[in-house]
Amino acid sequence: GAKRLVPGDIRAAKGGTPIVMLTAYTTPIAKLVDQHCEMALVGDSVGMVLHGLPTTLGVTMEMMILHGQAVARGLKRAMMVIDMPFGSFEESPDQAFRNAARLMAETGAGAVKLEGGTHMAETIAFLTERGIPVMGHVGLTPQSVNTLGGYKVQGRGEDGDRVRADAISVAEAGAFSIVLEKVPDTLARAITKAVDVPTIGIGASADCDGQVLVVDDMLGLFADFRPKFVKRYAELSETAERAIATYAAEVRLRRFPATEHVFGDDSKAK
Ligand code: KIV
Ligand code: NA
């Protein structure tokens, strides 16, 4: 069998063939991601994508653990990274360690991801020094939607220095990789050159060391959300809608079930 990827493998891929990452929240999608990607992210986007929450703020440790366990059952080679949900790590390094250790122990994830730059550096160092690999996440950090005032591009113009400093602090604190979300192309390129760990872009740049997307977005399953940075590789929600409409019509016309879907009374029949 294929050898399980670990944070050291991801770190070593800096500057090489781009690292491929997608979110996964369920076993069947995890199995597909495992065939083609280096990392599967159990993102807290699960709250919006699968549970209908308006933001990621309502995502709980229990939700992350349940989905993390489902994803783990589908992975052989890809490394699982699991998001620390809002409220589970910001208070103190102690709080972050306690919850990160629980996520790792109960799901078998290879690493946790947490949002935040310079102000989270102490926590990232605390975790990595105690055996928990951390992926950083800077630029647009959706858990801060209320203080950022929306899901805007981060680091345009003068503000680029802030995002660059965030990425450098996170790398220096010991993160093995950093997600750059919704930052200008040029800034993402500059940050990728400035840090010695791989950058994973989403709405960032083709020059990042890797890319991540929300799998339901790129499959066209989460149809309500059409941001510029998501390329639709399929339109599964349209396909599913047509299938459901056809099923409903066939039931009403008594065309489903047909002969091949029903059972005979003969005990030897299939
Ligand atoms: O939760 C998530 O899906 C993420 C990615 C968009 C990076 O954090
Ligand atoms: Na997330």
Cα 82 to averaged position of ligand 1 atoms, centre (Å): 10
CATH number, domain at 93?
A: 3.20.20.60
Kindly state whether residue 160 falls inside one of the protein's structural domains.
Answer: yes
Structure confidence at residue 100 (pLDDT): 99
Structure confidence at residue 267 (pLDDT): 81
Residues of the chain above pLDDT 90, percent:
95
Q: Where are the alpha helices (DSSP H) in 13-72?
A: 27-36, 46-49, 61-72
Q: Encode 84-116: b = buried (16+ Cβ within 10 Å), e = exposed.
A: bbbebbbeebeebbebbeebbebbebbbbbbbb
Kindly state whether residue 72 falls inside one of the protein's structural domains.
Answer: yes
Structure confidence at residue 34 (pLDDT): 98
Residues, CB within 5 angstroms of ligand 2 (ion): 43-44, 83
DSSP per-residue string spanning 177-196: EEEEES--HHHHHHHHHH-S
Average pLDDT on 218-223 reads 91
pLDDT tens by residue, 46-103: 999 999 999 999 999 999 999 999 999 999 999 999 999 999 999 999 999 999 999 9
Total number of domains in the chain: 1
Kindly state whether residue 257 falls inside one of the protein's structural domains.
Answer: no
Q: How far apart are CA 111 and CA 108, in angstroms?
A: 9
Structure confidence at residue 139 (pLDDT): 98
Structure confidence at residue 252 (pLDDT): 98
Kindly state whether residue 84 falls inside one of the protein's structural domains.
Answer: yes
Tally Cβ neighbours within 10 Å of residue 54: 9
> Are 68 and 81 contacting, i.e. CB atoms less than 8 angstroms apart?
no
For the cut 80, the answer to whether the pLDDT of residue 1 exceeds it is no
> Are 180 and 138 contacting, i.e. CB atoms less than 8 angstroms apart?
yes
Q: Which pair of tokens denotes residue 233?
A: 């590789």
- Judge if ipTM > 0.85: yes
> Are 43 and 214 contacting, i.e. CB atoms less than 8 angstroms apart?
yes
The verdict on the CB of residue 83 being under 6 Å from ligand 1 is yes
Structure confidence at residue 113 (pLDDT): 99
Annotated binding site: 44-45, 83, 113, 115
Residues 6+ apart with CB under 8 A from 231: 213, 218
Cα 157 to averaged position of ligand 2 atoms, centre (Å): 25
Structure confidence at residue 83 (pLDDT): 99
For the cut 70, the answer to whether the pLDDT of residue 247 exceeds it is yes
211 phi and psi angles, rounded to 5 deg: -135, 150
SS3 state at 115: strand
> Are 25 and 64 contacting, i.e. CB atoms less than 8 angstroms apart?
no
Kindly state whether residue 34 falls inside one of the protein's structural domains.
Answer: yes
Kindly state whether residue 131 falls inside one of the protein's structural domains.
Answer: yes
Band (pLDDT 50/70/90 cuts) for residue 225 is confident
Share the mean pLDDT of the chain.
97
Annotated binding site for 3-methyl-2-oxobutanoate: 44-45, 83, 113
Structure confidence at residue 266 (pLDDT): 87
Average pLDDT on 112-120 reads 98
Band (pLDDT 50/70/90 cuts) for residue 223 is confident
For the cut 70, the answer to whether the pLDDT of residue 255 exceeds it is yes
Kindly state whether residue 242 falls inside one of the protein's structural domains.
Answer: no
Band (pLDDT 50/70/90 cuts) for residue 32 is very high
Average pLDDT on 15-43 reads 98
Would you mind telling me the total number of residues written for the chain in this entry? Answer: 270
Average pLDDT on 251-270 reads 91
Kindly state whether residue 221 falls inside one of the protein's structural domains.
Answer: yes
Q: How far apart are CA 27 and CA 238, in angstroms?
A: 22
> Are 103 and 84 contacting, i.e. CB atoms less than 8 angstroms apart?
yes
> Which structural domain, as residue segments, surrounds residue 26?
7-234
pLDDT tens by residue, 135-184: 999 999 999 999 999 999 999 999 999 999 999 999 999 999 999 999 99
